[in-house]
Amino acid sequence: MVKTIKTKRLPKDPGPAGWNEIYKDKSSFPALDTDIEVDWVIVGGGFAGLGAAKRLLQLLGSKERIAVIEARGIAQGPAGRNSGFMLDLPHELNSDTYAGSKEQDLRQIRLNREAITMAESIAQQYGMDKALFSRSGKITASATDRGYRSIETYARHLTALGEPYELLGADDLHSLLGTEFYRKGLRTARTAMIQPAGYIHSAYKGLVSEGVQVYECSPVVEMTLNDDVHTLICANGVVRAKNVIMAVNGHIQSFGFFKQSLLHIFTYSSMTRALKNHELKALGGIENWGVLPADPMGSTIRKISDHAGSGHRIVVRNHATLNQSMEASEGNLKDAARLQDRSFARRFPMLKGVDMEYRWGGRLCLTYNSVPAFGEIENRVWSACCQNGLGTVKGMLSGMMAVDKAVLGDTELLNEFLIYQAPKRLPPEPFLSVGANATLKWKEWLSGIEL
Ligand SMILES: Cc1cc2nc3c(=O)[nH]c(=O)nc-3n(C[C@H](O)[C@H](O)[C@H](O)COP(=O)(O)OP(=O)(O)OC[C@H]3O[C@@H](n4cnc5c(N)ncnc54)[C@H](O)[C@@H]3O)c2cc1C
């Protein structure tokens, strides 16, 4: 049976990915300008694409030909736009409304750690330094009563899960972070922190050294699925492949799959210019740190150390909008910029006058019931999509799991991963967008100065 799918939409990412702009050791990859034949083609060069390609190499070695096709530049999409927290612990633990089950959380932690171990072995094998990947842990911190309560709940859940943590007071936070903004915090040790664009560039460069063909700026605009060989048409070339892994996150919907099930959320970041020596001195604190807000709608902040001349900088992430069109507007970016400037001024009065050099937004894909868009969606076409926010880890995991499913069929890890329901159907428009954006705004307002 032959089925032709025309891609309805191609990815558009607002603003320059700051992490990619400051990364000096960028590799460029060719665009596909000819016809190629491979055994496996992976569509999407983010974390899911990486997890899939690496797992294929692990399971099949150089026996089979593998290609990755990316629409944009490698690390210009969400993979190079995120805040770089590779979280091992379930994120929702720090919400007021936490209602998870212990067994489910322990399973998720095991799976997350498999993915982080994979990310770490990629970093080691391809010679990345600590600025690109490190197990530096993370701090969840707060400056409001509401946030303190979340930290207490978080601590109780971690105790119940048998996970170690360290509580931090205002003085600890001041000496670690420089800022006096935060009053209470909680540190866990096993989160990995990455320079997302640097990590992704180095990882894909490493894949090429192992024989994987990586093409960037080559959007797949049409697919013809066939009984024996699938054909993918890109802007200037064609891929024929026996097996296809779709690692396009929310854009799986642009190929006609998982209709009415995917929420397309944009979130936004600003990155300062490189700080001058006297500014760094005025700030104080340790070289490199990452803080997640105790209130999920608050600001994520990172201080990054100089890497190959990119400078010490502060990165602020906050604000979320639902854009079912899969495009963010100029107005969205302006709103985010205003909120981020306010957040920066509150936390870093000693850095008054330091401008933001880069501002950008990026897409996340969520389902109503927080399950992935995963599985064999057509004969020998697997989806490793929709990571429900924490895609540096869950993307890597779903790419690995798609390959395990395709090549091995049944493994212990896969059986753990596959315990979830189908994605729930979304309410119709315009109710969905109006309701969701109003709720997001309300929650941002509730988060107070945490934002
Ligand atoms: C500002 C921000 C902060 C974030 N912070 C964090 C964080 O700290 N920790 C965390 O875990 N997650 C974070 N995320 C989320 C994380 O970036 C994503 O969940 C993750 O990138 C998803 O990985 P993925 O590989 O599934 O998809 P993506 O990274 O989105 O990769 C999919 C790729 O498919 C490509 N593609 C789409 N259509 C086509 C086509 N037709 N042809 C070819 N290629 C195509 C896209 O260009 C894209 O590069 C953040 C996101 C943003 C925007």
| Cα-trace Rg, the chain | 21
Asked if the model's pLDDT at residue 406 lies above 80, the reply is yes
Structural contact between residues 204 and 45, judged by C-beta atoms closer than 8 angstroms: yes
Structural contact between residues 77 and 46, judged by C-beta atoms closer than 8 angstroms: yes
How many Å lie between the centroid of ligand 1 and the Cα of residue 107? 24
Pair type for strands 133-134 and 192-194: antiparallel
Query: Ligand 1 pocket, 380 CB below 6 A?
Result: no
Asked if the model's pLDDT at residue 70 lies above 90, the reply is yes
How many Å lie between the centroid of ligand 1 and the Cα of residue 306? 25
User: Which residue minimizes the CA distance to atom 37 of ligand 1?
Assistant: 248
Pick the closest to residue 189 from 89, 288, 104 (CA basis): 89
The mean-pLDDT minimum among 92-101, 116-125, 320-329, 356-365 falls in 92-101
Angle at 388 between CA 106 and CA 98, to 5 degrees: 50
How many Å lie between the centroid of ligand 1 and the Cα of residue 364? 7
Structural contact between residues 77 and 326, judged by C-beta atoms closer than 8 angstroms: no
How many Å lie between the centroid of ligand 1 and the Cα of residue 19? 14
Closest ligand 1 atom to Cα of 365: 19
Query: Ligand 1 pocket, 112 CB below 6 A?
Result: no
Q: Which domains does the chain have, with CATH numbers?
A: 3-80+197-260+369-429 (3.50.50.60), 133-193+263-368+433-450 (3.30.9.10)
Asked if the model's pLDDT at residue 76 lies above 80, the reply is yes
User: What phi and psi, each to the nearest 5 degrees, are found at residue 356?
Assistant: -85, 130
- Number of Cβ within 10 Å of residue 229's Cβ equals 14
Query: Ligand 1 pocket, 43 CB below 6 A?
Result: yes
User: Which residue minimizes the CA distance to atom 18 of ligand 1?
Assistant: 391
How many Å lie between the centroid of ligand 1 and the Cα of residue 81? 8
User: What phi and psi, each to the nearest 5 degrees, are found at residue 234?
Assistant: -105, 180
DSSP H helices, 352-424, are: 391-403, 412-417
Q: Round to whole Å and give the CA distance between 201 and 307.
A: 15
Q: Which of 69, 92, 248, 255 to mutate to test the pocket of ligand 1 (most atoms within 8 A of CB)?
A: 248
Contacts of residues 253-256 at CB distance under 8 Å and 24 or more positions apart, as own/partner, are: 253/326, 254/7, 254/8, 254/9, 254/10, 254/326, 255/5, 255/7, 255/8, 255/223, 256/5, 256/8
How many Å lie between the centroid of ligand 1 and the Cα of residue 427? 24
Query: Ligand 1 pocket, 271 CB below 6 A?
Result: no
Contacts of residues 273-276 at CB distance under 8 Å and 24 or more positions apart, as own/partner, are: 273/311, 273/313, 273/354, 273/355, 273/356, 273/357, 274/306, 274/310, 274/311, 274/312, 274/313, 274/357, 275/311, 275/312, 275/313, 275/314, 275/351, 275/354
**pLDDT at position 98:** 46
Closest ligand 1 atom to Cα of 396: 25
**pLDDT at position 97:** 43
**pLDDT at position 272:** 98
Q: Round to whole Å and give the CA distance between 300 and 187.
A: 15
**Tens digits of residue pLDDT in 78-123:** 999 999 999 999 865 544 444 558 888 999 999 999 999 999 999 9
User: Which residue minimizes the CA distance to atom 19 of ligand 1?
Assistant: 391
DSSP classification of residue 427? P
User: Which residue minimizes the CA distance to atom 41 of ligand 1?
Assistant: 220
Query: Mean per-residue pLDDT for 20-49?
Result: 97
**pLDDT at position 361:** 98
How many Å lie between the centroid of ligand 1 and the Cα of residue 331? 22
Closest ligand 1 atom to Cα of 76: 49
Q: What is the mean pLDDT of the chain?
A: 95
Query: Ligand 1 pocket, 393 CB below 6 A?
Result: yes
**Tens digits of residue pLDDT in 145-181:** 999 999 999 999 999 999 999 999 999 999 999 999 9
Closest ligand 1 atom to Cα of 77: 49
Pick the closest to residue 195 from 112, 307, 76, 74 (CA basis): 307
Q: Round to whole Å and give the CA distance between 44 and 83.
A: 19
Closest ligand 1 atom to Cα of 388: 19
Closest ligand 1 atom to Cα of 266: 53
Q: Is 304 left (phi over 0), alpha (psi -120 to 50) or beta?
A: beta
Identify residue 106 by its one-letter amino acid code: L
Query: Ligand 1 pocket, 298 CB below 6 A?
Result: no
Query: Ligand 1 pocket, 395 CB below 6 A?
Result: yes
Residue found by looking up tokens 């192992």 in the block: 210
How many Å lie between the centroid of ligand 1 and the Cα of residue 148? 31
Query: Ligand 1 pocket, 14 CB below 6 A?
Result: no
Structural contact between residues 228 and 260, judged by C-beta atoms closer than 8 angstroms: no
- Residue 245 banded pLDDT, cuts 50, 70, 90: very high
**pLDDT at position 92:** 59
Query: Mean per-residue pLDDT for 426-437?
Result: 94
Chain centroid offset of residue 291 CA: 16
DSSP classification of residue 274? P
**pLDDT at position 1:** 81
Query: Ligand 1 pocket, 396 CB below 6 A?
Result: no
How many Å lie between the centroid of ligand 1 and the Cα of residue 185? 29
